[in-house]
Structure 1
């Protein structure tokens, strides 16, 4: 015989004849008839709430008090593994207050047999399913009262507006039963138990059984024992113990989508025809059936709903409820019954389920943002993060008990969100997106309640995962304003009054047959560009004033995006008339190398080892307030030049060797750009040291009569095609040449033979001329030669000459 007791619940043990009487702290007692009979040594063990097992020590002197103490049990304990530990609450001092709450069980109602009405604890009833009655104080909205019988959860009590509550106990077996109540609030916090309420159930009428007992044991059958119990009120009765058949409800199956699962006792289901599964300890008799009872907590009706199908060999059974008519809490029990009389004493455990077929309210949650690499991504945007974090809020506040938030990607469930401590905000990190690969994904969330009912999904949040599968890259070179008086290129971050700006750019490589260039505005795809060769164009249509940021991608037929372009932003302001495009024009004249042995001007397309080249140029007029000269390298603004009058300078800072193309523009206060300068390209190569030859002009020759030959430095000539001659210090390298300058303007390239060179100029008018020469290579030039000045004078002599006489000065 197993009793769920702790040692702390026992006040003393006494011997009455051969019977052992165990006195409990709640005033009741347990009688073990014949415990000391037969002279055999008897062992009484207690399994504590901590799992330890203790043996009672008994005195052998026949005294009325026979318990002398406890010792740890050292025998075989394998049999105890299947026994539940006792609960301390049965006989603990009442603890029925909890933050202003109070709960108690006051009485039970017997509505069976000849003795009916309300009765206090410690009495006996022949009602197998009495109603418990109690009182609760301080109950708040959302609070519920849970009822426990012999340590097992039975169901929820019904409460009226005055704090009175009642609960119909599921049909149970003969014997002493202890009931307790506790409060659980909306957050799932539980109060202490009420004081234990003990009653004795005896479904056999004394008027029927006592004559049999008086008639002698033989009439009851061989091998049956007589049990005797007394309560704290002094009443006493003997009866035949119940059958040894043990019936158990093990599980309840929910097979209604979307959540097909086993419903734990106390759990919820959306299946109105749940299937019960259970076991028997032995085969049923020939005239026995296994009846299933269902107690409706809202009505208090305990209805026999059918008989189970038995597997006699496996000693298992199943029963499918023919149909629950409404949502609510139901308690099932099963018992072996005589098919003729309906009598039974082998009642199973109570199994409580809640039918809930109502879906959670739709639209109760919102996805507020998705973050990739710790950067928020707008819906319709893109990321390279394969583990993005999804965040949102519950619009209706915190979840109800048993509810959770389910996250879906493209309609498939990928996990459950974590609710923050405030009960409103939630997060979820998608750890499996990388396995899904690049492409477009739609995230939604929905509420699921304890029964598996689902709310409608939230609005979709679109995210595109980028991969490096596409090799082409895209550049936005310019955004053009084609409206109003101020037209032209809009600098990145600049203003425009054109609500239909045109984007222009380039791509590297060729597009595949199904590849396209797609344009994103503020992270959302807005269209597909027109592509011609390796250039593209797209005209947007903006609905309202504001700031806009554009990026471009190559996209293939599967939706995979390549590497995004750099962002290009503009500000649309149709309420302000932009300042007209500046009238000033800018010229980029020189780029100077100031590093190493070979310094000076770097020719267009030339090579330099100076990673900080200096750009210089001129303006057509002085700048006005708000204007500036901005420098672009490869189409990207890299800085603002220093301006003095109508000249400007800018020093760049290059990070690596390569080809670079520069332009300069005048930008006004509104961000409008003027006409750009001509492009000026250079090549940075820090691995090459350039040492070009030096050059000298040695003579300038006149070959026009009457005076021919070397004109001489500073001399005058009438030859309009003078010939320059000179030397170089070393032979020219491949790609080098001797370049001739007249009055600082390049006029041609000399003919070189070994270390000498010649060049014939063509002059158009009389004037003074200064010549220089220099050796130039691809992107570099040597030191400038000496200067050589001449004067061209082709005018006629105006004086006339006459021979007047010839004089002979030699004698004869």
Structure 2
């Protein structure tokens, strides 16, 4: 209930202030030498404690009044504390056995023995006691008017003497914690004070229940490694020795599922993650933190919890069989404090309890035993009738399988076969009887010829060629007469062809193949149904798109130059008869040139077309020879002969050769001037064919260089400059590599 507290200041004369203390803890600042009166019966005081430099008074209703600074040093005059019963008017003076002052930084706590001195009621009616009277009341103890109270117990019962309690409660316990909840045990009803940051001050308090259990939940979890101290304070104010713990919120390392063990069926042992099993109760095994609780999840649902052994190992076998289908197992480790790890990587198993269909056995001559079964199944063939497989084969993706008996089985012998799937399920058996009159020999593997029979470039193709014929002719020789040749493009059947009596066959692709890469394979099937092995793949690229039309520069007939798509062939018609008179190939930069053996006559029409590797021909480009037109020189190539990368430098490329070789064409006998970034760096003479080369005598500097050339022919006619040929020169080696230490998570 509320208590009226009156503070009378000595410094300010008789000035006083009145406060009200409610339930819980009420803190009141007290100046030294002031008088304190609390309107409550003295018998309700259950204890007093010095906490730092404060006086803490506890009452029977559980409320607490804290007089801040009561024991502070600074004056020899004590602060009297009286209690006035609001019902009877009786007053009592609290006489403290120890009034030693303490420094403000003091953080220790200790119970305070006190006695209650009864005062005359008339004094209360008169409005209180003089400070002089209150200070001198210590002598009343000799007159027998003082009721002694030990360790905070007190009563004003007309001279009765209650027994004192000076025994501290037992040290409380505080359980290991991850910082989210603190709990432990203490004397029932005791107040448990908690220091949550190690600074020696109380940060929180709770009360132990009737069984002695206490618990406290911080507003936010305490950080890992926080030191927590707990003390117990009984009703008399006695304080126990401290107990402490250090929070541990570190989660266990990520656990692992090492393997899954199949303990049922014909195939037993470890099943790798992603594998199949016919064991509906496989055993999972793994490792984690010793003693951790391991939660096992199947497709995200918790199905069991096991405890890791002292060495961290754990295992689990489902008590209820797993259903058929895929199961993705993960585990989470939780330590004794409730810290949970991240989930392990999934360990996936497919439970398959359904046997495959019985294999199909083809008729056999006793040497070759073949048939079909579930793709990927292991086919076991029993050739001696003892029920145990003697020969084995794995069914291909199309289900086919074959084994060879050596020695051959006798005519009329019984053969049986079963199929075992990846999970270990075994099919029913299939049976066949050996008939040595059968033809079980496969025909020879076809040897195809692929022919391009349209466009400008025709003829037999080699594997890897490009063709402009989307419907090439496929043919072969030397095949078994009457056999059927099956033609495949990848896995798609293009068609079949019948082998003629002379062993030849042919097939024209229809509908046409699409542009792009194709991989053709061939098999032969004889009249008995025996199928040959597949031929090697014949790869070709169908390309029906013509290249761009080339360009040809104006010419005086001494040479032809121009540009086209890189790598294409440029076909040149010099005399206008529609036939190709010369062919050159465009370089990596798309430049091409041609020097005729004799100067092309004035006014001749020269026509050029571009032809790609597949034989597609572009639309033509042409020019008319003008004998008076100066020949514009060109730079065909810039070559690097310094390791590590040597050879032609593409325009815009890089080089470490400070003296590269430039080459090109110009008018026969012309003087070619080489310019670098517009500055002449030397000259060269074009030979009778117009070719010229130049190597700088002074090393070029690092950086970007743009080469051009001009030409002056023997008649003093100048031409150029040519198109630029840019190259970047870099002579600086890169920095030595270094390694970065790998971070290892512990």
- For normalisation by structure 1, the TM-score amounts to 0.27
Q: Which has the larger strand fraction? A: 1
Higher relative contact order (CA 8 A, sep 6+): 1
